[in-house]
Structure 1
Amino acid sequence: MKMYLLSLGVGLLVGVLYYVLNVRSPAPPIVALVGLLGMVVGEKLIPLIKDFFPS
């Protein structure tokens, strides 16, 4: 749980920093969310595949 809170805090800090410096986000929100979804799915899918095909 501590890592989740740390990650949320860092994300909020970067968002505030982008706002203060008037920097545009490197990716449009939908692209960023799709990329995030891909990371989460990949993180869960690879162990599932490894369990399904034991070596």
Structure 2
Amino acid sequence: MSTIIDQDGEEIDYATAVNLMDDEIREGLHAEMALCTDQQFFDAYIERHYAKYGEDFTI
């Protein structure tokens, strides 16, 4: 099980976070960031999520 740190400093399960992500954002980032850590991917995702929805991504 891979864990990451969310924007509140909490440790969360990466697979759970991925399952809750917006498909369009997730797939776009996957194409751009194929060789990155789970944490780098998550950090990029929360920025894109905020840009699209105007709110934080929460688990």
TM (norm. structure 1) is 0.35
| Greater helix content | 1
Higher relative contact order (CA 8 A, sep 6+): 2
Higher gyration radius (CA): 1
TM (norm. structure 2) is 0.33
